[in-house]
Chains A and B, each alone.
Chain A
């Protein structure tokens, strides 16, 4: 085998310029794919992290039918005390869960005593919420993230529009479940940076305050946000929890709960899928580049060496060995292209990170591009290039191995 490699390498070096051009083409393809995957993948992961860690959590549990009406934040679809207790007991038993946070979500009117605007509010227990969405406290751009009863965190856009500052008094008025209206005065504890996605422009207040405004007597909850210890196990755990929740039935024998991963709750999931699709097509383009360039080179190589093929076949070289000889040439070209491309790709990603390129996404300004090269991606792309190189050289190699020595020797 070592001798086949030696002959293949020497044959490649025989046409240095052509080999260099082909290897460069493959390497450029690998660089493009690697840089694209690194940048788009990092952007995707950063956005997913931002959405799950500052708003949604990894999963959410609601009362059955709540998510279908989530735009209206229906208080009548809150989980009742019994269901909340059952759910909390269940969640506490799950070792995969890092933290969970019960929330009440409702709409209300926000007044600074001179102007009034609508506001969406999320009532939380701050310690539980901050453990479930650890980036939320970091979104506080002014004031404090300490959310005591009587304090409120308001979104940046509302604060700017209503000219409200930290420490100002504001009033929240909300309609209760029975249709009556109630209000409460708050002090603005902090101003939250807006982020893209559902809940990205919500205000936050303490759970006790929400119960007071909404005149709730029992422990009613709109949703439970859940954070897992390992985000990679999201789907496995989601299936497991869904199974457990499906056994909890109401008096009519229907399921009490519904479970959604962040993917079903955030429109960014569609963008993430688009990024995945684009990555797939970029990979297909790479395969096409490798396939055509290697096939082209190998067809040329066979054509130029017909007499040589005739000679080695006449001497007694078995067709299988002739096939291997040419396949190994394609394989070597693939390896050189993949290796060079991978190294160049890593260097380019490193330079991109050093450059600290910023970009805007929705309301989020000045996000820093942090491209990461995943070793698995490098391995997968390199392996794809090498396998495609071998496949591309198979046809010319087969042609060489099936050549009649007598015809090949006559070739001029």
Chain B
């Protein structure tokens, strides 16, 4: 059964008197444990689509099912709960909480979102710290570590709740090439290890090649899909 099913999904924005059609009737499916990339030039609708899949926004028309849930009918609170249980986020600017240490940043979703008991939490966070190779940096604050390390922490934070899906919007945009590859490699490793579906957007052609399924977006329309041996049949 597909993890994500999009049927004729559209998204319009009203900008003053103008109606902007950001997404135009997109239909696709993504299977669990896929390693997917949405590519396209700036303004093609990548971020809008990731926001819809991540329940941060709602489609104007069409049907979008994520982890068997019709996300169109979730209210604010339900959306937050759904995200907390099913989706991890990796941001372009890392978005770590500056007053929390590396350990506490990774722990945050378990503590503040899932209210997990302490013993289980410690075990989970330590496992993730080890997986992203940040154990020796766990007591540092975000401003004391490098960009690549920050993104590794962000990957760990996204995975700590064992989500079905991790969304990464331009996760390598602020990283140098070497670090960008390392982060993508880490994401793939995490997918292999935890079976989590990773969807990331990028306009970096070299990074795109690392994805197993590549969707190409242009002017809000799905222009193509390249399957390099992973899941997905949309």
Q: Which residues of A contact B (CB under 8 A)?
A: 3, 7, 10-11, 14, 307-308, 310-319, 321, 405-406, 409
Contacts and interface: CB of A to CB of B under 8 A. Distances in A.
Interface string B6-43: 00000000000000000000000000000000000000
B56 A3 contact: no
B109 A315 contact: yes
Given A307-B95, A314-B56, A406-B56, A3 B111 contact: yes
Nearest to B52: A406
A317 B98 contact: no
B97 to A, nearest CB: 6
A307 B83 CA distance: 17
B84 A316 contact: yes
A405 B98 CA distance: 18
A313 B80 contact: yes
B99 A317 contact: no
Chain B residues touching A, majority SS: helix
Nearest to B113: A316
B56 A321 contact: no
Contact of B83 (A3, A11, A314): A314
In the A-B complex, the 5 residue pairs with the smallest Cβ-Cβ separation, listed nearest first, are A316-B84, A10-B99, A311-B95, A316-B113, A316-B83
A405 B56 contact: yes
A315 B108 contact: yes
Contacts of A311: 89, 91, 95, 97
A202 B85 CA distance: 85
Interface of B: 51, 54, 56-57, 76-77, 80-85, 87, 89, 91, 93, 95, 97-100, 108-109, 111-113, 157
B56 A318 contact: no
A3 B111 CA distance: 8
A318 B80 CA distance: 6
A315 B83 contact: yes
A317 B84 contact: yes
A312 B105 CA distance: 10
Nearest to A14: B99
Contact of A11 (B84, B99, B113): B99
B85 A7 contact: no
Nearest to A9: B99
A305 B112 CA distance: 18
Contacts of A308: 95, 97-98
A10 B157 CA distance: 20
Nearest to A3: B111
A71 to B, nearest CB: 72
23 contacts: A3-B112, A7-B100, A308-B95, A308-B97, A308-B98, A310-B95, A311-B89, A311-B97, A312-B108, A314-B54, A314-B56, A315-B113, A315-B157, A316-B83, A316-B113, A317-B80, A317-B84, A317-B113, A318-B113, A319-B76, A319-B80, A409-B56, A409-B91
Contacts of A405: 56
